Amino acid sequence: MELTITYIIITIYSISLMLIFFYSLAQLNLLVNYLGNKRKNLEAPKYNLLDPKEIPFVTIQLPIFNEEYVVERLLDNIAKIEYPSNKLEIQVLDDSTDDSVLDTAKRIEALQATGLDITHIRRTNRQGYKAGALKEGLKIAKGDFIAIFDADFLPDGDWLKKTVIYFKDQEIGVVQTRWGHINRDYSTLTRIQAFALDAHFTLEQVGRNAKGHFINFNGTAGIWRKECILDAGNWEGDTLTEDLDLSYRAQLKNWKFKYLEDVETPAELPVVISAARSQQFRWNKGGAENFRKTVWKVITSKNISFKTKFHGVMHLLNSSMFLCVFIVAVLSIPMLYIKNIFGHLAWIFEATSFFIVSTVILFVCYWFTYKSIQGSSFEKFIDYIKLFFTFFSVALGFSLHNSMAVIEGHMGKRSEFVRTPKFNINNLTDTWKGNKYLAKKLSPNMILEAALMIYFLFGMYSAIPLNDFGLFPFHFMLFLGFGFVFFKSLTSKA
């Protein structure tokens, strides 16, 4: 019986390690694509916005829900978009249930008085959440192209001029831009989030797009061709990441996506860990829901290559890597004892090297994405090393929370779309204290995270009597990661 349990632990541990290894290989291939794309300079057909006949009509949709702290900043910024007024309308899709509705209405009236074509669209319910609001606005949208911005985004005045021009290619259904971060250096938490998002918006988006593999509209800071939305089946609210869902349905119908790494759209990162938790939960559960909904369609599609299918499956499995990492972490301590008790099984522990190789691959991949934005001096490389291992530790600390989201997604458990609280943080001196949208209750996961912090402290201690320090750095990062998430959660209540 004891040996049977041992073999079960080894099998689960090894499978999880191999999945992580395959994911890292996919990332490495994306890095090759990314570096290859840097050497290309292909000229795409573009609208000539100096010719009035070529200027397309654009509708900007602003889906908001209880955004008291940022809605004025959002509306004032969007009002500065440089585009012919007779070819632009703005829809404020306001599902708010608090007093912010009144302030929003007043600000919209003031902007209407300036001649801006802006409307305040209210629904009687939140059916379909953000997807439902976008779908409702689409019914009456005058534009052939639909630009979407979440409440914490601040596009530059010439944003439309830089993006809508690419739709002259009739096969393009979406143009997506890279997210920037107005509060990147606010705290360790914001630096980590910026680091992870930068990797996605450089390595992954460029790496996939460069070879015609499927990418995703990121929910904001991009434009859809209205015809593409309708042809793909319109917005659906049956997953928490409606953007990923519609993106895959559109690309399965052969619509092309254009990603613009050089066009940055600034936005505000969550500055409180409870807000980051809700965002991470939605993204990771939504990813798993979309895997469940879409992966078979990708695998069986006759219109796409094997390599595009492989990257599509790995893309849809992105969030599930947290579950693999969590399994490897939890089982690493039993594995440490198995290695020392069952000497004849020591050869199996060569599989652990796959995790080391995976970490090295990610370290290399993320360096190229980091230096593309931050620069590549020696000082920057030292900063990168510190940031990478801080990011890695905190990502491990989030693995329980995100694994629960992934499990719910794969099981098909439905849950409410929980918005990420916004703070109107523009500089290092701004504060989030008193934000009324922050969760007042402590997460039940916190007890488990505290227990895991102690568990991995025990893992470090175990290395001493066993005289086996191979996993000590891993357990140390896990201890720090769960400690960071636990103590930050304790101190982030409004």
DSSP secondary structure string for all residues of 291-320 = HHHHHHHHHH-SSS-HHHHHHHHHHHTTTH
For residue 170, give the nearest of 84, 228, 231, 252 by alpha carbon. Answer: 228
Half-sphere exposure of 453 (CA within 13 A, CB side): 17
The pLDDT value recorded for residue 494 is: 42
H-type alpha helices, 398-444: 399-411
The widest CA-to-CA distance across the chain, in whole angstroms, is 81
Contact 214, 312 (CB under 8 A): yes
For residue 139, give the nearest of 180, 91, 107 by alpha carbon. Answer: 91
As beta bridge partners, residue 147 has: 60, 223
For residue 152, give the nearest of 229, 230, 70, 82 by alpha carbon. Answer: 70
> How many other CB atoms are found less than 10 A from the CB of residue 171?
11
| Res. 154 pLDDT band, cuts 50 70 90 | very high
Contact 411, 141 (CB under 8 A): no
Res. 301: pLDDT tops 80: yes
DSSP secondary structure string for all residues of 272-295 = SHHHHHHHHHHHHHHHHHHHHHHH
With vertex at residue 462, the alpha carbon angle to CA 460 and CA 463, rounded to the nearest 5 degrees, is 70
pTM across the whole model: 0.93
Contact 143, 230 (CB under 8 A): no
> How many other CB atoms are found less than 10 A from the CB of residue 35?
14
| Res. 440 pLDDT band, cuts 50 70 90 | low
pLDDT tens digits, 347-401: 666 767 778 899 999 999 999 999 999 988 999 999 999 999 999 999 999 999 9
pLDDT tens digits, 2-37: 778 888 998 999 899 999 999 999 999 999 999 988
Contact 109, 184 (CB under 8 A): no
The pLDDT value recorded for residue 437 is: 58
For residue 432, give the nearest of 70, 57, 172 by alpha carbon. Answer: 70
- Strands of the sheet containing 222-225, edge to edge, are 118-122, 88-94, 58-64, 145-148, 222-225, 172-179, 256-265
Res. 1: pLDDT tops 70: no
Nearest-angstrom CA–CA distance, 319 and 326: 12
Average pLDDT, the chain: 91
Active site residues: 95, 243
For residue 225, give the nearest of 186, 262, 255 by alpha carbon. Answer: 255
H-type alpha helices, 164-272: 188-199, 205-209, 226-231, 242-252
The pLDDT value recorded for residue 62 is: 98
Contact 59, 93 (CB under 8 A): no
Res. 312: pLDDT tops 90: yes
**Across 126-130, 163-167, 198-202, 421-425, least confident range:** 421-425
pLDDT tens digits, 90-134: 999 999 988 889 999 999 999 999 999 999 999 988 899 999 999
As beta bridge partners, residue 88 has: 58
Query: What would you report as the CA-atom Rg of the chain, rounded to the nearest whole angstrom?
Result: 24
Backbone angles phi, psi at 92, to 5 degrees: -95, 105
Contact 339, 346 (CB under 8 A): yes
Contact 61, 141 (CB under 8 A): yes
The pLDDT value recorded for residue 7 is: 85
Residue 353 CB burial class (10 angstroms; 0-12, 13-18, ≥19)? exposed
Residue 435 neighbours by CB under 8 Å, 6+ apart? 69, 272, 421, 423, 494
Residue 321 has which token pair? Answer: 């890597």
The pLDDT value recorded for residue 44 is: 78
Q: What's the whole-number mean pLDDT along residues 132-158?
A: 97
As beta bridge partners, residue 64 has: 94
pLDDT tens digits, 444-480: 788 999 999 999 999 999 999 989 888 899 999 999 9
The pLDDT value recorded for residue 265 is: 98
Residue 212 neighbours by CB under 8 Å, 6+ apart? 256, 308
Nearest-angstrom CA–CA distance, 62 and 233: 21
Q: What's the whole-number mean pLDDT along residues 419-448?
A: 69
Q: What's the whole-number mean pLDDT along residues 313-330?
A: 96
As beta bridge partners, residue 223 has: 147, 175
Q: What's the whole-number mean pLDDT along residues 219-233?
A: 98
Backbone angles phi, psi at 98, to 5 degrees: -120, -170
